[in-house]
Structure 1
Amino acid sequence: MTSRYRARLAVAAFACVAVIPLSALAADATSDAAPPAKGYDYPTQGRVEYVLGCMDEKGHDFANVYKCSCTIDRIAAVLPYDDYVEQMTFAKYATLGGEGGNEFRVDRARAQTKKYRALQQEAYQACGFGKPSPSASK
């Protein structure tokens, strides 16, 4: 089969696909759509970054895509995004050494880190991760 023939075949197949107006899709999507989930709306980028970081920590197993997605969904259900960013940042840099880490070792930062890690641990357990990894308990 030549590349020219494959190209013609692809164009013919594409031409057979029915074109549906976007307004019709939007009407169908809103008529039978489930009510919005309770909780807070996190940007897609924030959710993706969390899932990728979670998979770096827990392993790049296909099942972990679902477990990590479940975890961020549970966190988003109870924590506003701005609070999540603040708490996650404090938790991420809590072990940063030297003068640069001083800001992350003050009482407020420690309290935020403790809240975040407790919430994350609850979400891990609810989503099937079980016990935390050693790096999550630092």
Structure 2
Amino acid sequence: MSARRSVLLVGLALAAAVLSAASGALRPAAAQDGLRNDFPTVARADYVFACMAANGESREMLQRCSCSVDVIASILPYDVYVEAETVLSMRHLGGEKTAMFRDTVIAKDLVDRLRGAQAEAEIRCF
């Protein structure tokens, strides 16, 4: 493994640790006690706003998008959701430095878990 790739992998691990620590500070007390469905309200609201922007801004879409984030939150821990969303956003950037977000097994597994949860949400809510 090249020195450059090692530095990138260390950077990814560091970024994941920072995101995990930051997300822990935002979680409600019940979620910090190990309960599932630990998405902060602001994360749920962000998801619903984006979902409605993509699918229409109606009362029906509000209900469907709210249902969707609830299903995802029941399947994935918030930390995994944040990591998968980070991988997906990094994939949009070009260049050699972001290859680890496209080509590593860890990144692919994170995205697969998120896509699986999204597919389940699609089935249940839409």
TM-score (norm 2): 0.62
**Deviation of residue 61 (structure 1)?**
2.8
Q: Give 1:90 shift.
A: 1.8
Larger RCO (alpha carbons 8 Å, 6+ apart): 2
CA contact (8 A) 2:36 2:74 kept: yes
Deviations 1:105-128 (A, max 9, x none): 122111211111121011111101
* Structure 1 runs not aligned, ≥5 long: 1-37, 129-138
1:46 aligns with 2:48: no
Hey, what does 1:111 align to over in structure 2?
A: 109
Count of aligned pairs between the two proteins: 91
Q: Is the 8 A contact 2:80 2:110 kept in 1?
A: no
Q: Is the 8 A contact 1:87 1:113 kept in 2?
A: yes
Compute the RMSD of aligned alpha carbons: 1.9
SS in 1 for 2:91: coil
Larger radius of gyration: 1
Question: What percent of counterpart residues are identical?
Answer: 38
Check whether the contact 1:55–1:68 (CA below 8 A) recurs between aligned residues: yes
Normalised by the size of structure 1, how large is the TM-score? 0.58
The equivalences for 1:23-62 within 5 A come to 39-62=36-59
CA displacement at 1:76 relative to structure 2 = 1.0
Structure 1 residue 71: Cα displacement = 0.6
Instruction: Write the deviation string for residues 58-112 of structure 1: whole angstroms up to 9, x where unpaired.
Output: 2223311111110110111121111111122223443432235323112211121
Is 1:101–2:63 an aligned residue pair? Answer: no
